[in-house]
Amino acid sequence: MIGHPFYILEKVDSTNNYAMAQVNSGDVTSGTAWFTGNQTAGKGTRGKKWLAAPGDISALTIALQPATLPLSRQFMLSIAVALGAHDFFSSHAGDETAIKWPNDIYWRDRKAGGILIENVIRGTIWQYAIIGIGINLNQGKFPEELKNAVSLRQITGKTWDGPSLAKELCQFLDKRIQQLTPAHYDQFLQEYKSKLFRMNVPAPYRNRSDESIFEGTIKDILPSGLLVMDTGDGLKEFGFGEIEFILG
């Protein structure tokens, strides 16, 4: 089960780094979770940092052995984790919660959390998925450069206990991971698309290859994880990191 065992780290550079070290140093039970409310060098996608004052963020990493998933289905694990995080966050923040492709958690048009999955592959064996989830928890305000960020405290007006919420998140994730079978792949993908931020909504984007700005409309997500967008010149496919969402 996800979150069994569950370890609380008083302070750590990155829960993903810590989990990876544990996996590389010996046997780790699938589902083991590490939590901290004081992460000094948290990692986001494409090398971004995930920084917060102690107690402001809920940083959780899970080491999972994806025994029934082939490497070709890595995006299905990403979908399952994103849906579990969405289930958790929306249970407290309401139905304005969305998933920003590929797996950020948004409330309205503001970022509330992020997911980073790092894989341990030995030969052709997908040995572990190191699943890191950072949730903005108790921040009262953010730096000017993070103007599109939002915390659960800002949304609800409540101050939250990090370990309790992390254990609750584990329960939501466990339910989704247990459902992750070939029979549910299509259902998961359709549900993911139904919760997707800006799905079928024209909006501005930046193409990272040449820094050009264009208006596009997300029309579909392929099982591989590619985003299908109508750019006005027909449908185009984009991979992770190829475009940037331009937010107000």
For 8-24, the pLDDT digits (tens) are: 999 999 999 999 999 99
Q: Is the pLDDT of residue 55 over 80?
A: no
Question: Average pLDDT over the chain, rounded to whole?
Answer: 92
Q: Any idea which of 34-43, 59-68, 89-98, 216-225 has the lowest mean pLDDT?
A: 34-43
Query: Taken in order 236, 241, 242, 244, is the CA torsion positive or negative?
Result: positive
Q: Cα dihedral angle (66, 67, 73, 77), rounded to 10 degrees?
A: -30
pLDDT band at 46 (very low <50, low <70, confident <90, very high): very low
Q: What is the pLDDT of residue 42?
A: 63
pLDDT band at 189 (very low <50, low <70, confident <90, very high): very high
How far apart are the C-alpha atoms of 65 and 229, rounded to whole Å? 33
Residue pair 112/43 in contact (Cβ under 8 Å)? The answer is no
User: Tokens 């060098």, residue?
Assistant: 41
pLDDT tens sequence across 165-185: 999 999 999 999 999 999 999
Q: Is the pLDDT of residue 43 over 90?
A: no
Q: Is the pLDDT of residue 140 over 70?
A: yes
Over range 30-34, report the average pLDDT.
97
- Tell me the percentage of the chain whose pLDDT exceeds 70: 95
DSSP state of 180: -
Q: In what order do the strands lie in the sheet containing 57-64? A: 6-8, 32-36, 57-64, 125-136, 110-122, 104-107, 97-100
Buried b (16+ CB within 10 A) or exposed e, 185-207: beebbebbbebbbbbeeebebeb
pLDDT tens sequence across 206-242: 999 999 999 999 999 999 999 999 999 999 999 999 9
Half-sphere exposure of 166 (CA within 13 A, CB side): 28
pLDDT band at 48 (very low <50, low <70, confident <90, very high): low
Over range 191-198, report the average pLDDT.
98
Which of helix, strand or coil describes residue 245? Answer: strand
pLDDT band at 38 (very low <50, low <70, confident <90, very high): confident
Tokens at 7, concatenated:
């370890």
Over range 52-63, report the average pLDDT.
83
Residue pair 142/149 in contact (Cβ under 8 Å)? The answer is yes
Residue pair 192/99 in contact (Cβ under 8 Å)? The answer is yes
How far apart are the C-alpha atoms of 85 and 183, rounded to whole Å? 21
Q: Is the pLDDT of residue 44 over 70?
A: no
